C-alpha cells in the first residue's frame, strides 16, 4: 500500500499540516524539533487509533501526549492507495476513546467505505500496532542495536514471529523446567526419584518370597518344636506318673510297714500282758481258773490299790524297812550274842588273867630266886623280872577287862560289812534301845499297809514283822506286776486305738493287697530322668519363644512388605502417568523445535536473501538477483533466533567483532530483510527517522544508495535533519 | 443331593490397591465372612460335598486366625465333605532340611492319610492345638478318587504348575486300565488318572484354570475348574461340561460383577441335572465408563453417571446349565444390580470442552453417599480445535502443521501434544488433564 497524502489538523505540536507522498523515496529534510516523531505517531494513530488511558509502556504514544495543548479534538486525514483503490481515512481523537471518531471513504466516489474497519492497521498490514511500529518505523537510535533477545523488544523480529519466538523461548523454558522436574535421569526428577523408590521397594519385595519361605521354614520348625514339646510333655507326664506310682508304692510300703509295726507292737503288748497275767496267776494264784482271771486281777488290784492307796513304798523305803528289820534283828541277835559273849569273854578273861597272874607270880618268884641266886647281876634275872611284871600286868588288865566286859554293854566292834557301813561298838543297852526303836519304826512303816496284831510277844511281833515285811515285798511285787499288767493292758488299748486310727486314716486293704509293680524303676533314676526332660523342655520352650519371636518379626516385616506391595502398585501407576507426561513433553519439545526450525527456516532463507540484497546494496553492488548466490556473497549468516553472525573462516562470530559502521549497516539490512519477510504481499510504507545519524560519511552515502534501492519496492518516508544525510 | 463348586477364594490375599489400610483389612475380613457364609449355606441346603478347586488362600500370607476360622467352620459341618485342591499360587520353598517342599503339601500333607496322621503336628499356621477336621480331604498331586454315593464319584488332582497337558487318547471305561494319563511335566505319571465308569456320574476336580486340550471323554459329566474372575460354563465335547465359578468375591476392580459359586443338583438316582449360580458376594465391584464429552458441568455429569449405573441392571449374565436326557443346555442368567454396599470405579471418558466444569471431588463425594467405596478416574481429554491454527503464519501454525504431518502418533497423543504446545506458545502454564 502507499500513502498519497495526509492532513494533520492537530496532533501534538503539529497543526494544520499537509503532506503529499510519492511512490518510492520521500525525503523530508526538517530541522530538529520539527516533530518527525510526532508525525510518525500521527501515521500510527491514523491506522491503529490511540490507546485509552495512560497504561504503562504507552507514555510515548499516549493520547495525552499528542492531544493539542490548546485542547479539543485532534486528528487528521490520511489518503492511501491499497490494491489499486484509493481511500481516505479520517480520525478524530477526544479525551477518551469513546470520543474518537473514524471514517473511511472511497476516494473515487467520495463515499463512505466499509472495506476496512477502525482496525485499519491490522487489516491493512496484518500485524498489530506494536509490530508495525517495530518494523515499519525505524528511528535513528534503532539503526544500531545489540543482537540478542533484547533486540526483539526494540525492533522485534517479525511481528507475530518475534512474539511467537519469545513465547517459544519462554515456553521451552517452562517445558524444560517441567521435564527437569519429571526427569528420569536427574536426581531431582520425580520419575527418577519414583523409580529409585520403586526399585528399592522392588528389591525389598524380591525378598518377600525368600522371607515367606523363611517364615514357612521358621513356622515349620516351630511346629515341629511344638510337636516335640508336646511329646516331651507327655513323656514327662509319664515319668511323673511313674514317679508318683513309685512314690505311692513307697508310701504304701511305708504304711504297710508302719501298720505292721503298729500291729506287731499291739500284739506284742497283748502277748506281754497275757504272759504277765499268766505268770501272775501262776505265781500267785496257780489254781485259779482261766475264767474270772480278769475279775480276780481287778479285785487284787483294787485290794492292793486300797492297801497302797497312799502309794506303794519306794524301793528305798522297803530297803530301809528291810534294813531296819535286819538291823533290829541283828541288834537283837547281837545283843544276845554280846551277852553271851560277854559272859563268855568274861569267863575267858578271868581265866586268862588267872593264868597270866599265876604265871607272872611264878616268874616273879623265879626272878627273885634267880636274882638271888645270881648276885653277879646277870641280866637274865632282869628279863625274868620284866617278863613277870608284864605277865602280871597283862593278867591284871585282862582280869579287869573280863570283869568289866561281863558287866558293861559296850558297843561291840563290828567289822566292816560289805556295804561299807562302819558300825561302831555299842553297848548292850544301846543295842537294845536301837533294836526297839527300829522295831517301832518298822511297825509304823508296816502299819501303813497292814493291820498289825497287838498282843504279841516281841518274838511274835518280830516274826509278824518279818512276815508282813515279806508280805509287803510280795504284795509289792504283786502290785507292781498288776500295775505292769494294767499298764500293758492300757498300752495294748492305746496301741489298739492307734492301730484303729491308722486303719481309719489309711486303707489297709490298699497296701496289704498291693502288688509290687513289675519293672519298677528307681525313683531317683526317674527323678533324674525327669530333671533331664525338664531341662530339655526348657530348651524347647526357649526355642519356641525364639521361634515365635522370629516368626513374629518376619510376619511384621512381611506385613510391611505387603504394604509396600500396595505402595508399589500405586507407585507403578503413578510412574506410568509421569512417564507418559514426560514422553508427551519430549514429543512437544521435539515438535516445537522442529516447528521453530521450519518456521525460522521459512523466514530465515528469505531473510538471508533479503539481507544479502540489502547488504550488497549498501556496499553498492549492482547484482540484485534474489537467488541463493546473494546469500553466499554476504559474509554473514543468521542463527535460529535471527541474530546475525559475521562469518570468518567458515565460523559464525559475534557481531561485536564488526566495526560500528558495519554493524549498523548489517542491522539495517537485517531490519529490512525482516520487513521483506513480514510483508510478502502488500508492501507497507516505511518511515525512517534519520536512521543514518550515527554513520560516518562514506557509510551515509552507502545508506542513501541503500535507500534508493529499497524505495524501488517500498514507499519510504525518510526524515532527516541534516543535508548530508538527505 | 447337592454339591457346591467353589474356587479362587483368596483369603487373606491382596485386595484393591486404592483402598486405605483399614479398608483393605476390612475387605479381607469380608472375604472371610463370605466364605463362612458359603459354608453355612452349604449346611442349610444339605449339601453333601464342597469342591474347593484351589486358591483357598495363599499359605505364605494367611494368618493363623484365618486358618482357625476355616477349620472351625468346616468342623461345624461334619456331614459335609470338603475336597480341597492346591492352587497354582502354591510356592516351593526350602524346608528345614533344604529340600523343596510345596507349601501346601507341607501344611497339609501330600495325601489325605498322611495328612490325617499329621494331626498331632497341627496346621502350619494355626499352632499346635488345632486339629484338622476329618471331613476335610486334601488332594495332593496324585490322583485320588472318592465315591460319594452309589453313582457319584469324585476324581481329583492338584497340579502345582501350569504345565498340565494331555497326552494319549480318551478311552472308554469298562476295563480297569487308566483312561487318561495326565502329563504335567512332560513325563507320564507313574499312576494315571483312575478309571472312570460310564455308568457313574463322574465329577473331576482340577486346580487349573485351563482345561487340557483334548481332555474329556464320554465318562466325565462335570469338570470343576479354578479360573479367573468370571463364571464360565462350556462343553467338553462329550456328555459333560466344565465350569469355573469365578472367584468367590471380587478383590479389586479387575474382578467386577456378581461372584459366588455353582450349586450342582443331582437327581435321586445320582444324575447331575442342574447347575445354577449362587451369588453370595457381600459386595460387588463395578467398573463403569461414562462418556461426558457433551456435558457442561458436574451436575450433569453426576446425572449421567447415575443413569449409567441404573442401566447396568440386567445387563450382565452368568451362565448356568441344565442337563437332561438329550444333553445339556447352557443359559445365561441375568444379573447386574449395583447395591449400596458395592464398590464403584467410574471412568470419565470423552472429549470435553475446555470450559466444561468438572469437579471430581464433588462427584466422588456425591456418589459416596450412595455406595460404600467410589473411585473416580478422569480419563477425559480436553477437546482441542486446532483447525484455525493450521492457517496461522506464526509459530503456532507451524507447530500445528508439523503435528498434522506426523502420522506415527495416535490421534489422542497428537491432540495432547498440540494442546501442550499451544499452551506453551500462548504463554500459559502446563496443565495436565
Mind giving me the DSSP string for A676-717? HHH-SSSPPPEEEESTTTTS-HHHHHHHHHHHHHHTTTS-EE
DSSP states of B195-248 as a string? P--TTSEEEEEES-SSPPTT---TTEEEEE---SSS-EEEE-SSS-EEEE--BS
> What does the pLDDT read at residue A6?
92
Contact (CB<8Å) A216/B426: no
Q: CA B178 from chain center: how many Å?
A: 32
Q: Grid coordinates representing A463? A: 516274826
Highest mean pLDDT: which range of A166-180, A574-588, B249-263:
A574-588
Cell numbers 453417571 label which residue?
B305
Amino acid A410: pLDDT: 45
Beta strand B201-206 with B220-224 is: parallel
The CA-atom distances, in angstroms, between A659 and each of A1, A38, A56, A608, A652 are 36, 32, 36, 21, 16
The closest CB to that of A584, out of B61, B121, B416, belongs to: B416
Predicted pLDDT at A600: 73
* CA–CA dist B114, B107 (Å, integer): 11
Q: Contact B127/A226, CB-based, under 8 Å?
A: yes
Query: B328 lies in a domain?
Result: no
Same-domain status, B396 and B420: yes
Cβ A223–B417 below 8 Å, yes or no?
Answer: no
* A594 in B contact zone (CB under 8 Å): yes
pTM: 0.54
Residue A160: band (very low, low, confident or very high) from pLDDT cuts 50, 70, 90: low
Task: Give the range among A71-75, A156-160, A304-308, B252-256 with minimum mean pLDDT.
Answer: A156-160
Q: What is the mean pLDDT of residues A110-132?
A: 83
Q: Are residues B273 and B186 in the same domain?
A: yes
Q: Does B233 share its domain with B146?
A: yes
Total domain count for chain B?
A: 3
A433 touches chain B (CB under 8 A): no
Q: Checking phi first, is residue B419 left (phi over 0); if not, alpha (psi -120 to 50) or beta?
A: alpha
* Partner-chain contact A581 B125, CB within 8 Å: no
Q: Quick one: cell of A706?
A: 541503500
> Best residue in B12, B14, B28, B60 to probe A by mutation, most A CBs within 10 Å?
B60
- Indicate if B115 and B186 belong to the same structural domain: yes
Cα distances (Å, whole numbers) of residue A544 to A148, A233, A286, B67? 79, 14, 86, 20
Domain with residue B94: its CATH number is: 3.60.21.10
- CA nearest B318: which of B230, B248, B229? B230
What is the mean predicted confidence (pLDDT) over A226-233?
A: 84
- Nearest-CA residue of chain B relative to A596? B395
Specify whether B71 is located in the same domain as B93: yes
B375 and B400 share a domain? no
CB A686 within 8 A of CB A136: yes
For residue range A603-618, what is the model confidence (pLDDT) as tens digits?
Answer: 677 777 778 877 777 7
* Virtual torsion, Cα A207, A209, A211, A213, nearest 10 deg: -150
Q: Give the pLDDT mean for A358-387.
A: 82
Q: Cα angle at A260 between A256 and A266, to 5 degrees?
A: 145
Residues B224 and B305 in one domain: no
Question: What does the pLDDT average to over A419-432?
Answer: 63
Lowest pLDDT segment from A77-81, A554-558, A660-664, B199-203: A660-664
Q: How far is B378 from chain A (nearest CA, A)?
A: 13
* B355 domain-assigned: yes
**Rounded CA gap, B419 and B404, in Å?**
13
Higher pLDDT, A149 or A392: A392
- Say if B7 falls within a structural domain: yes
Model ipTM value: 0.71
Of A5-14, A261-270, A581-590, B307-316, the range with the lowest mean pLDDT is B307-316
Alpha-carbon Rg for chain A in angstroms:
85
Residue of A nearest to B404 (CA): A591
CA distance B374 to B45: 35
Q: Do the domain assignments include residue B77?
A: yes
Residue B28 lies in a domain: yes
Partner residue facing A223 (CB), from B124, B403, B417: B124
Shortest distance, CA A591 to any CA of chain B (angstroms): 7
Cite the DSSP H helix spans in A117-189: 120-125, 129-136, 149-154, 159-182
> What span, in angstroms and rounded, lies between the C-alpha atoms of B149 and B47?
13
Domain end, chosen from B235, B260, B281, is at B281
Question: Residues in chain B with pLDDT < 50?
Answer: 88-96, 98, 100-101, 103-129, 160-191
B59 neighbourhood in chain A, CB within 8 Å:
216
- Enumerate residues 307 to 346 of chain A having a beta carbon within 8 A of any beta carbon in chain B: none
Residue A318 CA to residue A316 CA, distance in Å, equals 5
Q: Indicate whether B176 belongs to any domain.
A: no
| Integer Rg of chain B from CA | 27
Other CB atoms within a 10 A radius of the CB of residue B428 amount to 13
Q: Within an 8 Å CB–CB cutoff, is residue A680 touching chain B?
A: no
Flag whether B322 is in a domain: no
For the segment B346-390, what is each residue's pLDDT rounded down to a tens digit?
Answer: 999 988 887 788 888 999 999 999 888 899 998 888 777 777 788
- Domain assignment of residue B141, given as a range: 2-166+182-281
Closest residue in chain B to residue A178, using alpha carbons only: B430
Strand runs labelled E in A135-275: 137-139
What pLDDT is attached to residue A657?
Answer: 74
Range in A224-233, A576-585, A646-655, B68-77 the model is least confident about: A646-655
The whole-angstrom separation of Cα A136 and Cα A664 is: 17
One domain, residues B414 and B349: no
**Is the minimum CB–CB distance between A176 and chain B shorter than 8 Å?**
no
User: What pLDDT is attached to residue A181?
Assistant: 93
The answer to whether the Cβ–Cβ distance between A587 and B122 falls below 8 Å is no
Same domain, B298 and B411: no
- List CB contacts (< 8 A) between B124 and chain A: 216, 219-220, 223
* Highest mean predicted confidence (pLDDT) among A4-18, A160-174, A180-194, B105-119: A180-194
Q: What is the pLDDT of residue A153?
A: 34
Q: What is the CATH number of domain A1-125?
A: 3.40.50.300
Give the minimum alpha-carbon distance from B115 to chain A in angstroms, rounded to a whole number: 14
Quote the distance between the C-alpha of residue B114 and its chain's center.
Answer: 31
Q: Are residues B341 and B248 in the same domain?
A: no
- pLDDT tens, position by position, A635-666: 787 776 677 787 877 777 777 777 766 777 77
Compute the nearest-CA separation of B66 from chain A (Å).
Answer: 15
Q: Is B324 within a domain? A: no
CA A674 to chain B, closest CA, distance in angstroms equals 14
Q: Are residues B51 and B86 in the same domain?
A: yes
Residues B224 and B288 both lie in one domain: no
Query: Which of A226, A565, A595 minimises the CB distance to B395?
Result: A595
What number of C-beta contacts closer than 8 Å exist between A and B? 128
Amino acid at each position: 500500500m502507499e500513502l498519497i497524502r495526509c492532513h494533520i489538523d492537530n496532533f501534538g505540536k503539529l497543526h494544520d499540516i499537509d503532506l503529499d507522498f510519492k511512490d518510492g523515496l520521500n525525503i523530508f529534510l526538517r530541522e530538529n524539533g520539527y516533530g518527525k516523531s510526532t508525525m510518525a505517531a500521527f501515521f500510527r494513530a491514523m491506522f491503529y487509533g490511540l490507546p485509552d488511558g495512560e497504561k504503562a509502556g504507552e507514555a510515548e504514544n499516549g493520547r495525552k501526549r499528542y492531544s493539542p495543548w490548546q485542547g479539543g479534538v485532534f486528528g487528521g486525514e490520511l489518503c492511501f492507495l491499497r490494491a489499486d483503490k484509493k481511500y481516505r481515512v479520517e480520525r478524530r481523537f477526544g479525551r477518551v476513546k469513546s470520543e474518537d471518531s473514524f471514517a473511511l471513504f472511497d476516494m473515487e466516489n467520495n463515499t463512505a467505505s466499509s472495506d476496512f474497519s477502525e482496525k485499519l492497521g491490522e487489516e491493512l498490514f496484518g500485524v498489530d500496532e506494536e509490530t508495525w511500529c517495530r518494523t515499519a518505523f525505524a528511528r535513528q537510535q534503532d539503526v544500531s542495536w545489540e543482537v540478542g533477545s533484547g533486540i526483539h523488544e526494540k525492533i522485534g523480529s517479525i511481528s507475530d514471529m518475534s512474539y511467537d519466538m519469545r513465547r517459544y523461548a519462554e515456553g521451552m523454558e517452562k517445558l524444560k523446567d517441567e521435564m527437569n522436574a519429571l526427569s528420569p535421569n536427574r536426581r531431582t526428577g520425580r520419575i527418577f526419584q519414583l523409580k529409585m523408590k520403586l526399585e528399592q521397594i522392588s528389591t525389598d519385595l524380591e525378598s518377600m518370597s525368600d522371607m515367606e519361605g523363611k517364615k514357612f521354614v521358621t513356622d515349620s520348625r516351630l511346629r515341629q518344636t511344638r510337636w516335640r514339646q508336646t511329646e516331651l510333655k507327655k513323656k514327662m507326664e509319664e515319668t511323673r506318673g511313674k514317679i508318683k506310682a513309685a512314690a505311692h508304692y513307697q508310701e504304701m510300703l511305708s504304711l504297710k510297714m508302719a501298720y505292721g509295726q503298729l500291729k506287731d507292737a499291739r500284739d506284742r503288748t497283748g502277748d506281754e500282758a497275757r504272759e504277765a497275767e499268766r505268770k501272775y496267776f501262776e505265781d500267785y494264784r496257780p489254781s485259779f481258773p482261766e475264767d474270772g482271771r480278769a475279775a480276780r486281777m481287778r479285785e487284787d488290784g483294787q485290794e492292793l490299790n486300797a492297801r497302797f492307796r497312799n502309794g506303794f513304798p519306794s524301793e528305798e523305803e522297803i530297803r530301809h524297812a528291810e534294813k531296819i528289820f535286819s538291823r533290829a534283828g541283828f541288834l537283837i541277835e547281837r545283843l544276845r550274842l554280846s551277852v553271851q559273849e560277854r559272859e563268855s569273854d568274861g569267863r575267858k578273861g578271868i581265866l586268862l588273867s588267872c593264868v597270866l597272874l599265876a604265871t607272872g607270880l611264878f616268874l616273879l618268884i623265879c626272878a627273885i630266886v634267880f636274882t638271888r641266886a645270881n648276885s653277879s647281876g646277870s641280866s637274865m634275872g632282869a628279863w625274868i623280872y620284866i617278863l613277870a611284871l608284864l605277865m602280871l600286868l597283862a593278867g591284871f588288865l585282862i582280869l579287869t577287862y573280863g570283869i568289866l566286859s561281863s558287866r558293861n554293854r559296850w558297843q561291840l566292834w563290828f567289822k566292816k560289812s560289805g556295804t561299807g557301813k562302819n558300825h561302831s561298838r555299842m553297848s548292850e543297852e544301846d543295842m537294845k534301845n536301837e533294836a526297839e526303836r527300829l522295831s517301832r519304826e518298822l511297825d509304823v512303816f508296816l502299819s501303813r499297809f497292814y493291820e498289825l496284831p497287838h498282843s504279841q510277844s516281841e518274838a511274835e511281833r518280830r516274826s509278824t514283822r518279818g512276815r508282813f515285811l515279806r508280805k509287803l515285798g510280795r504284795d509289792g511285787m504283786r502290785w507292781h506286776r498288776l500295775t505292769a499288767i494294767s499298764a500293758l493292758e492300757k498300752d495294748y488299748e492305746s496301741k489298739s486305738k492307734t492301730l484303729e486310727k491308722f486303719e481309719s486314716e489309711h486303707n489297709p486293704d490298699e497296701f496289704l493287697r498291693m502288688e509290687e509293680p513289675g519293672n519298677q524303676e528307681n525313683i531317683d533314676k526317674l527323678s533324674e530322668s525327669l530333671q533331664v526332660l525338664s531341662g530339655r523342655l526348657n530348651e524347647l520352650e526357649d526355642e519356641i519363644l525364639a521361634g515365635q519371636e522370629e516368626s513374629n518379626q518376619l510376619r511384621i516385616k512381611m506385613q510391611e512388605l505387603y504394604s509396600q506391595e500396595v505402595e508399589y502398585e500405586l507407585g507403578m501407576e503413578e510412574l506410568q502417568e509421569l512417564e507418559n507426561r514426560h514422553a508427551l513433553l519430549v514429543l512437544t519439545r521435539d515438535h516445537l523445535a522442529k516447528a521453530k526450525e521450519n518456521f525460522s527456516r521459512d523466514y530465515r532463507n528469505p531473510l538471508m536473501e533479503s539481507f544479502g540484497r540489502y547488504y550488497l546494496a549498501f556496499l553498492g553492488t549492482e547484482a540484485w538477483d534474489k537467488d541463493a548466490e546473494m546469500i553466499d556473497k554476504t559474509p554473514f549468516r543468521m542463527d535460529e533466533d535471527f541474530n546475525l553472525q559475521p562469518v570468518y573462516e567458515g565460523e559464525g562470530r559475534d557481531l561485536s567483532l564488526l566495526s560500528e559502521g558495519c554493524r549498523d549497516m548489517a542491522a539495517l539490512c537485517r531490519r529490512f530483510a525482516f520487513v521483506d519477510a513480514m510483508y510478502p504481499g502488500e508492501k507497507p510504507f516505511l518511515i525512517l527517522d534519520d536512521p543514518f545519524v550515527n554513520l560516518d560519511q562514506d557509510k551515509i552515502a552507502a545508506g542513501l544508495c541503500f535507500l534508493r534501492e529499497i524505495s524501488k519496492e517500498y514507499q519510504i518516508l525518510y526524515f532527516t535533519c541534516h543535508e548530508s544525510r538527505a | 443331593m447337592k454339591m457346591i463348586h467353589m474356587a479362587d477364594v483368596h483369603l487373606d490375599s491382596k485386595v484393591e490397591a486404592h483402598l486405605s489400610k483399614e479398608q483393605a483389612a476390612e475387605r479381607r475380613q469380608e472375604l472371610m465372612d463370605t466364605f463362612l457364609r458359603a459354608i453355612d449355606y452349604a449346611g442349610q441346603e444339605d449339601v453333601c460335598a464342597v469342591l474347593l478347586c484351589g486358591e483357598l488362600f495363599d499359605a505364605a500370607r494367611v494368618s493363623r486366625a484365618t486358618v482357625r476360622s476355616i477349620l472351625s467352620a468346616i468342623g461345624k459341618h461334619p456331614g459335609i465333605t470338603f475336597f480341597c485342591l492346591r492352587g497354582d499360587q502354591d510356592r516351593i520353598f526350602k524346608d528345614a532340611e533344604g529340600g523343596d517342599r510345596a507349601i501346601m503339601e507341607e501344611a497339609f500333607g501330600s495325601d489325605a492319610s498322611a495328612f490325617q496322621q499329621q494331626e498331632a503336628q497341627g496346621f502350619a499356621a494355626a499352632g499346635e492345638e488345632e486339629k484338622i477336621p476329618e471331613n476335610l480331604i486334601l488332594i495332593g498331586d496324585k490322583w485320588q478318587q472318592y465315591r460319594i454315593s452309589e453313582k457319584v464319584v469324585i476324581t481329583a488332582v492338584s497340579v502345582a504348575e501350569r504345565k498340565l497337558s494331555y497326552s494319549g487318547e480318551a478311552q472308554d471305561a469298562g476295563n480297569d486300565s487308566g483312561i487318561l494319563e495326565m502329563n504335567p511335566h512332560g513325563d507320564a505319571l507313574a499312576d494315571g488318572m483312575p478309571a472312570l465308569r460310564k455308568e457313574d456320574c463322574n465329577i473331576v476336580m482340577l486346580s487349573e484354570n485351563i482345561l487340557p486340550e483334548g481332555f474329556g471323554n464320554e465318562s466325565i459329566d462335570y469338570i470343576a475348574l479354578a479360573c479367573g474372575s468370571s463364571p464360565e460354563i462350556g462343553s467338553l465335547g462329550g456328555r459333560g461340561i466344565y465350569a469355573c465359578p469365578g472367584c468367590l468375591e471380587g478383590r479389586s476392580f479387575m474382578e467386577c460383577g456378581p461372584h459366588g459359586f455353582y450349586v450342582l443338583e443331582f437327581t435321586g438316582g445320582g444324575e447331575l441335572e442342574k447347575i445354577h449360580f449362587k451369588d453370595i458376594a457381600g459386595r460387588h465391584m463395578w467398573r463403569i465408563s461414562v462418556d461426558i464429552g457433551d456435558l457442561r458441568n458436574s451436575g450433569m455429569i453426576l446425572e449421567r453417571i447415575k443413569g449409567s449405573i441404573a442401566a447396568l441392571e440386567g445387563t450382565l449374565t452368568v451362565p448356568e446349565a441344565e442337563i437332561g436326557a438329550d444333553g445339556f443346555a447352557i443359559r445365561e442368567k441375568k444379573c447386574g444390580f449395583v447395591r449400596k454396599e458395592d464398590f464403584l470405579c467410574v471412568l470419565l471418558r470423552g472429549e470435553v470442552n475446555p470450559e466444561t466444569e468438572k469437579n471430581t471431588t464433588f462427584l466422588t463425594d456425591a456418589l459416596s453417599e450412595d455406595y460404600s467405596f467410589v473411585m473416580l478416574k478422569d480419563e477425559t481429554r480436553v477437546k482441542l480445535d486446532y483447525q484455525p491454527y493450521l492457517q496461522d503464519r506464526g509459530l503456532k501454525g507451524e507447530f500445528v502443521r508439523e503435528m498434522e504431518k506426523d502420522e506415527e502418533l495416535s490421534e489422542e497423543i497428537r491432540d495432547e501434544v498440540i494442546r501442550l504446545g499451544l499452551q506453551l506458545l500462548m504463554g500459559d502454564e502446563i496443565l495436565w488433564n
